[in-house]
Chain A
Amino acid sequence: MVELGLNRAEPATLVVDLNCAFASIEQQHDPSLRGRPLAIAAYATDAATIVSSSREARDLGIKTGMRVFEAKALYPRLVIREPNPPRYREVSDKLIEILQRHTPDVLRMSIDEASLNLAGTPDLTRLGPEGVGWAIKRAVRAEVGEWVTCSIGIDATARHLARAGIRTPLDFLYATPQRLRLAGMRREVAEHWLKRLRGYEVGSFESARRKSYSHSHVMARATSVQADLEELLMRLSEMVGRRLRAAGRRGSVVTVSVVYRPRAGHFSHQAKQPQPISTGEEIYRAALELLAAREPNREIGTLGVGLSGLSDAAEDQMDLFAEPRAPRGDRLEKAMDTIRDRFGEDAVQRGRLLGRAPVVRDRIAFGNTGHPEE
C-alpha cells in the first residue's frame, strides 16, 4: 500500500449537529406537533421563507429555503410556526453544556451545531470517540428531550466537493489543491483540508470575536413614508443596542443599509461617531442622519442598521470636547433591558412605538450562534 503519511492516532474531533433543530425543538415543546409535517418560517405568511422543517415535512420534500406557499402546494395541511429564538438558545446552551462535560475545547459553530476536540481528554481514552458520541446522544435525549436528536460525525461540505468531482473519501484524499479550489475553497482552506485528511488537526478552537452587530427587516409592504421608516429604524436600533449591551460592548461606526423595492437598487452609508455608543437612542440618532441619504420618492423594501468598530464598554476613554455623556440615557436603557429580560421584549416600549405591532422580531441568522456574546 502507498505510504500516505497518515496520522494513525484515533480521531479526536467530533461535529455535533441537532437534526431539524428548530422544528424538532418545537415538537419537543408541543407534543401535539409530533409526528406531523411542521415548518418553521420567518413569518406565518405565504411569502415567507422556511428556516427549518421537521423530519416528517422533509420526507414530503419540504426543505429549508422554500417559500411557505411552495411547501403548501406540496402538502396543504402543513403546520407553520414562527421561530422562537429564546427557546432555541436555551437548547443550544444545554447542548454546549453537555459537550463541555467531555472537553473544554468546544466550538459553537451555529445555534444547532458545534464541534469538540477531545485530544488529551480522559474521555477519549476511556470511551473512545464513538463512546463519547453515544454519551452525547444519550445526554441530549435525557436532558433536552426524546424528540430532539443529533447527528455526530465529520464534514458538511460534501455537496461542494461533488461539484469538483470529489465523491468518495479517497477522491478527496487524492485531490490536488487546484481541484479543491474548484470546490470553492480558498488556497489556505484547501491546504488545511489536505492536512486534516492526513489526520492532522489544524485551525484553532477559539472562535473569532464578533466584529459587528446588525439587524435588518424585510417589510411586507415597501414604503417611502418617513414616519414608517423612522419607526422601523428606531426598533432596529434598539435591538442592535440591546444585543450590544448584553455583550458589554460599544461601537463607533453606525451603518444604515437600504434595499429599494420594487424598483431594485440599494445603498449603504456609514458614519464614525466621535465616541463609542451603545444605547438604542444614540444608534437611532446617528442612523436617522444616514437614512436622509435615501432617494425620498423611492419605496424601501428592506432596512438595516448595524454597528461596528466595537470596543469593550469598560474601556471608556472620556473625551475632552464632547458633551458629558448623559448617564440618564444609559440608565434608562439598562432598566428597559432588565424589564425585557424578565417579562419579554414587548413588556416595555417607547411611546412612539406603543400600540404598534412588533414588526421586527428577534431572529437567528444562518451561521450565527444567536448569542450576543459571540
Chain B
Amino acid sequence: MGIRSQTALKLTCQPSTLSSALQIVSRAISTRTTLPILNNILLETTSEGLALTATNLEIGIRKVVAAEVAEEGSTTVPARLLTDFVGTLPEKDLEMALDLSTQTLSLKCARFDTHVKCIEAEEFPPGPRPDEGDRLSIPLDELLAAIEQTQMAASTDEARPVLTGVLLHIDRDGQTLAATDGHRLAVRKLQARGGSDLEARLIVPARALAELPRAFRGESGEVEVIVSKARNQIFFRAGTSEVTSRLIDGTYPNYTQVIPTKSSTTVKVATSELNQTVRAVSLFARDSANVIRLKTETGGLVLSATTNEVGDSRAEVSADVEGSDIQIAFNARYILDALAVAAEDHVELLFDGPLSPGLIRPPGSDQYLYVIMPVRVAM
C-alpha cells in the first residue's frame, strides 16, 4: 500500500478529522483476532495526506485525511488506543512524528505530549490491490440507497454462508442487488447507466456492504467497483475512501423464480401509517413468534396480534383494496424492515392467497421488490 520507506513519518493534521476517520476505519478491526498486527491501523503518508488502513482479512477500510506531510513514512498503531486518545484531544494542530529506531510515535497537541509504541508497517498484511480486474462505475447515491434497501434481508445464520451475502448481479441490462434469508427477499435494481460488458453474480458479505454508507460519507459522484481477476475480492472506491471485501464462494439461489408474478389482491396504503400500526400491534406478537395477521376489509386493512397471557391488539389502516379478500399472517419484523426503507409515501402490497409469498413495492414500480413468505397459521 503506497510507499513504505524507512524514513520517519512526520506530519501535522486536525484531531477532529483524524478522529472521525479513525472511527470509520476501526470498524474493520476484529474484536477477536489471532494476529496481533490486525489490532493496529496502518498509517501511511500519501500525496493527499495521511492514509489510514485497517483490515480483518475479510473486510478492509481505507480513508485518507488531509495532513501537511513534512516527512514521508509509515507505521502501524494500536487502533483502539489511537482512536480513543485522538477523540479526546482539543481542536489544535496535532503533530505526529515517528522515531524509527524505537518505532515510537510521538503525538503533540496543545498540552499533550504522548508516545505510542508501534509495530513496523512491514508487518501489516498487504491488502489486495485493485490494479487489475473488471471495472464498473455506479453512482454513489444509487449504490448506497440500494444497499440500504437490501442488506437487512440477508441472513446472519452462518450455517448458510451464501445467504449472509448480498448478490450483486451484473449483466448487460444493468445491475441488481438481491438479499434473502430464506424467509424474505429484497431486490433492488440500480438505475441503468449504459451497458457494461461485465457479467457476474458476486456475493458480497452483507457486513462489508453495511460499512459503505459510513466509509463513503462526505464523498460524492461515482463509486468505482473493481472485481479481482480470480473473482474472490471486490473493491469499492469513492474519492479517497476505499472498502475491500472478500467475496463469498458459492451459488446464490435463483431469486427471480420466487418473485410472485401474479396476484389476486392489491392493497395500496400510506407507508408511515402502516409502519406505525404494525409497530404498535406487533408489541402483542412479541411472545408468539412475532406473528401479525392481516385481513382486508372494505376500505381498509385490519391488523391484529395475540399472545396468550399478554393480550391482543387490533387496528385498522385505511387502504385501497382491489381483488379478492384475504387473510394472511407474517412475521412483523419482516414487514417493518421493508417499510423502514421504503422511499415512497405509499406502498403496494400484493397477495395471492394465504400460503403464497406476499410482495411489497413502490406503487406500480418494480425498481424495488420485497417478497415475504407468510407464516402458516390457523385463521
| A and B interact physically | yes
Residues of B within 8 A of A317 (CB): 183, 289, 331, 373, 375
- A320-B184 in contact given A315-B291, A315-B375 (Cβ < 8 Å): yes
A315 lies within 8 A of B289 (CB): yes
Contact of B182 among A311, A314, A315, A321 (CB under 8 A): A321
- Docked Cα-Cα span, A274 to B183, in Å, equals 11
B376 within 8 A of A: yes
Shortest C-beta distance, A270 to chain B (Å), equals 12
A318 lies within 8 A of B289 (CB): no
B331 lies within 8 A of A314 (CB): no
Within 8 A of A (CB), among B336-379: 355, 357, 371, 373-378
Contact of B253 among A272, A312, A315, A321 (CB under 8 A): A321
Shortest C-beta distance, B379 to chain A (Å), equals 12
- Docked Cα-Cα span, A317 to B185, in Å, equals 14
Within 8 A of A (CB), among B5-19: none
B375 lies within 8 A of A320 (CB): no
Contact of A320 among B288, B355, B357 (CB under 8 A): B357
B355 lies within 8 A of A318 (CB): yes
B159 within 8 A of A: yes
Shortest C-beta distance, B3 to chain A (Å), equals 49
Within 8 A of B (CB), among A293-329: 311-312, 314-322
Contact of A314 among B183, B185, B373, B377 (CB under 8 A): B377
Residues of B within 8 A of A312 (CB): 289
Which residue of B has the minimal Cβ distance to A313?
B376
Which residue of B has the minimal Cβ distance to A314?
B377
B180 within 8 A of A: yes
Which residue of B has the minimal Cβ distance to A325?
B376
* B interface secondary structure, majority: loop
Which residue of B has the minimal Cβ distance to A315?
B289
B159 lies within 8 A of A318 (CB): no
- Docked Cα-Cα span, A274 to B160, in Å, equals 9
Contact of B377 among A274, A311, A316 (CB under 8 A): A316
Within 8 A of A (CB), among B146-202: 159, 180, 182-185
Contact of A318 among B180, B185, B374, B378 (CB under 8 A): B374
Shortest C-beta distance, A251 to chain B (Å), equals 15
Interface size class of A (residues with CB under 8 A): 10 to 19
B371 lies within 8 A of A320 (CB): yes
B376 lies within 8 A of A274 (CB): no
Residues of A within 8 A of B357 (CB): 320
- Docked Cα-Cα span, A221 to B93, in Å, equals 83
B315 within 8 A of A: no
Within 8 A of B (CB), among A337-364: none
B116 within 8 A of A: no
B258 within 8 A of A: yes
- A320-B258 in contact given A315-B289, A315-B291 (Cβ < 8 Å): yes
Shortest C-beta distance, B34 to chain A (Å), equals 27
Which residue of A has the minimal Cβ distance to B291?
A315
Contact of A321 among B258, B355, B374, B377 (CB under 8 A): B258
B376 lies within 8 A of A319 (CB): no
- A314-B371 in contact given A319-B182, A321-B253 (Cβ < 8 Å): no
Contact of B373 among A272, A274, A311, A319 (CB under 8 A): A319
Which residue of A has the minimal Cβ distance to B180?
A320
- Docked Cα-Cα span, A311 to B291, in Å, equals 14
Mask: chain A, 211-222; 1 = CB below 8 Å from B; 0 = not: 000000000000
- A314-B378 in contact given A320-B357, A321-B258 (Cβ < 8 Å): yes
Which residue of B has the minimal Cβ distance to A271?
B159
- Docked Cα-Cα span, A322 to B289, in Å, equals 20
Which residue of B has the minimal Cβ distance to A322?
B182
Residues of B within 8 A of A320 (CB): 180, 182-185, 258, 357, 371, 373
- Docked Cα-Cα span, A74 to B288, in Å, equals 56
- Docked Cα-Cα span, A230 to B377, in Å, equals 34
Which residue of A has the minimal Cβ distance to B160?
A274
- Docked Cα-Cα span, A73 to B241, in Å, equals 85
Residues of A within 8 A of B373 (CB): 317-320
- Docked Cα-Cα span, A314 to B331, in Å, equals 13
- A316-B371 in contact given A321-B182, A321-B258 (Cβ < 8 Å): no
Mask: chain B, 237-258; 1 = CB below 8 Å from A; 0 = not: 0000000000000000100001
B residues in contact (CB < 8 Å) with A: 159, 180, 182-185, 253, 258, 288-289, 291, 331, 355, 357, 371, 373-378
A-B pairs, 7 with minimum CB distance: A315-B289, A316-B376, A318-B373, A320-B258, A321-B253, A320-B373, A317-B375
A residues in contact (CB < 8 Å) with B: 272, 274, 311-312, 314-322
What are 6 A-B residue pairs whose CB atoms fall within 8 Å in the complex? Answer: A314-B377, A315-B288, A316-B375, A318-B183, A320-B180, A320-B184
